[in-house]
């Protein structure tokens, strides 16, 4: 793998609550190569959103390191971190609640430029116009308000806002989940175009495996705060190794009535992150669990090129 732009080592985020410690993210290590898109998949409560925000230090990690282009982020002071933020941006799921309804689209997009003192006033308008066109909207959109746009168009505005400060790295958190499928395809293709043109590096967080398989170079699968399997997108989705990845993939309904699948239906639901199982976190629902699975967190093994899986009985 080429030199990673982002390297996570032993990253954890715990939340203290009256009922105990919620282990939202536990001991996550992950490398993301420059110019690549890594998909982070998992179901509700897997910790994928918390991980995405911890990477940007929008949430402070409890333990572990975040190395971004050679700089360790966890030790940075507020000012240094602010400078780093220009290089790292986020696109949210819900384009309605993440755009201020009282501001014009142009003001929303130029906000980052002002915050980071990029360009003179007059230049900013041109920059915003160019950005709007880059994401497939008309420059005139800058003088209108968010509510005048459809869901797909608002997501384009969110993308333009993230791109304004010319980041190298973007966290996209469920950025197409709220969109209809025909609009979703437009946005996915836009993200692919932008990656090519700007050599963007992306962490794409999603629960939809078909979308992740289409967009991403690599996939990391999360369950109950831990990454259980990572690998190149196609091999991982064609030949998943971890029993959870296998169950997750077999649960996705395929848009083809001719497909007869032997589906593995997982029993039960995800245990509470307040009290995760000992050893392998998946063992309580795993059809292949052994007594040894309760004893220790499974160490990484390498089932194929560039692949890592945490399972002692795959």
Partner 1 sequence: MSAGPILSVEGLRVAFRSRRGAVTALRDVSFTLEAGRTLALVGESGSGKSVTSLAILGLLPRNGDITAGRLAYRARDGRELDLARLPQSEFRAIRGREISMIFQEPMSSLNPLFTIGDQIGEMLLLHEGLDGAARRKRVIEMLEMVEIPAPARRIDSYPHEMSGGMRQRVMIALALICAPQLLIADEPTTALDVTVQAQILDLMRRLQREMGMSILFVTHDMGVVAEMADDVAVMYAGAVIEQAPVADLFARPSHPYTRGLLASIPRPDRPEGERLVAIAGSVPPLGSLPSGCAFAPRCPLATPACAEPVGLRDIHPGHRVACIRAEEVLADA
Instruction: Using CB under 8 A, list all residues that contact partner 1.
Output: 43-44, 150-153, 180-186, 188-189, 192, 207-211, 213-215, 234, 237-238, 247-248, 250-259, 263, 265-266, 269
DSSP state for residue 229 in the 8-state scheme: E
Do 98 and 159 contact (CB within 8 A), yes or no? Answer: no
Nearer to partner 1, 71 or 269 (CB): 269
Taking the C-alpha atoms of residue 88 and residue 166, their distance in angstroms, rounded to an integer, is 9
DSSP string, 60-84: --SEEEEEETTEEGGG--HHHHHHH
DSSP state for residue 301 in the 8-state scheme: B
Q: At closest approach, how far in Å is the CB of 274 from partner 1?
A: 15
Nearer to partner 1, 62 or 210 (CB): 210
Nearer to partner 1, 142 or 179 (CB): 179
Q: At closest approach, how far in Å is the CB of 30 from partner 1?
A: 22
Q: At closest approach, how far in Å is the CB of 183 from partner 1?
A: 6
What does the block give as tokens for 263? 């589906």
Q: At closest approach, how far in Å is the CB of 156 from partner 1?
A: 11
Taking the C-alpha atoms of residue 147 and residue 47, their distance in angstroms, rounded to an integer, is 31
Alpha helix ranges (H) inside the chain: 48-55, 78-85, 105-115, 121-134, 151-163, 181-198, 209-215, 233-238, 243-251
Q: At closest approach, how far in Å is the CB of 220 from partner 1?
A: 17
Q: At closest approach, how far in Å is the CB of 271 from partner 1?
A: 11
Q: At closest approach, how far in Å is the CB of 264 from partner 1?
A: 9
Q: At closest approach, how far in Å is the CB of 42 from partner 1?
A: 9
185 C-beta neighbours (distance < 10 Å), count: 15
Nearer to partner 1, 9 or 207 (CB): 207
Taking the C-alpha atoms of residue 240 and residue 230, their distance in angstroms, rounded to an integer, is 10
Nearer to partner 1, 65 or 177 (CB): 177
Nearer to partner 1, 107 or 284 (CB): 284
Nearer to partner 1, 86 or 288 (CB): 288
SS3 92: coil
Residue among 223, 221, 225 nearest 21 (CA): 225
- Ramachandran angles phi, psi of 211, nearest 5°: -65, -45
Taking the C-alpha atoms of residue 232 and residue 216, their distance in angstroms, rounded to an integer, is 8
- Determine which helix (DSSP H) or strand (DSSP E) holds 40, and give its type and residue range: strand 37-41
Nearer to partner 1, 88 or 311 (CB): 311
């Amino acid at each position: 793998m080429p030199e990673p732009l982002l390297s996570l080592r032993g990253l954890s985020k715990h939340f203290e609550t009256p009922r105990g410690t919620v282990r939202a993210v536990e001991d996550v290590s992950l490398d993301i190569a420059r110019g690549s898109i890594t998909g982070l998949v998992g179901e509700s409560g897997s910790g994928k959103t918390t991980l995405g925000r911890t990477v940007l230090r929008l949430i402070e990690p409890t333990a572990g390191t975040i190395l971004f282009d050679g700089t360790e982020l966890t030790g940075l002071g507020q000012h240094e971190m602010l400078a780093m933020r220009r290089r790292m941006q986020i696109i949210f799921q819900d384009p309605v609640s993440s755009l201020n309804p009282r501001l014009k689209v142009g003001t929303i997009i130029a906000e980052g430029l002002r915050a980071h003192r990029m360009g003179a006033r007059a230049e900013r308008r041109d920059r915003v116009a160019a950005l709007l066109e880059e994401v497939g909207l008309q420059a005139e959109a800058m003088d209108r308000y968010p509510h005048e746009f459809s869901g797909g168009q608002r997501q384009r505005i969110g993308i333009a806002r993230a791109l304004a400060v010319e980041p190298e790295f973007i966290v996209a958190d469920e950025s197409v989940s709220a969109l209809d499928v025909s609009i979703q395809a437009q946005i996915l293709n836009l993200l692919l175009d932008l990656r090519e043109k700007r050599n963007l590096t992306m962490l794409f967080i999603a629960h939809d495996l078909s979308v992740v398989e289409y967009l991403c170079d690599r996939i990391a699968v999360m369950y109950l705060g831990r990454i259980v399997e990572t690998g190149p997108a196609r091999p991982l989705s064609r030949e998943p190794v971890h029993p959870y990845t296998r169950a997750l993939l077999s649960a996705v309904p395929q848009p083809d009535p001719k497909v007869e699948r032997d589906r593995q239906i997982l029993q039960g639901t995800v245990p509470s992150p307040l009290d995760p199982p000992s050893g392998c976190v998946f063992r309580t629902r795993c059809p292949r669990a052994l007594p040894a699975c309760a004893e220790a967190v499974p160490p990484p093994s390498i089932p194929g090129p560039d692949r890592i899986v945490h399972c002692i009985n795959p």
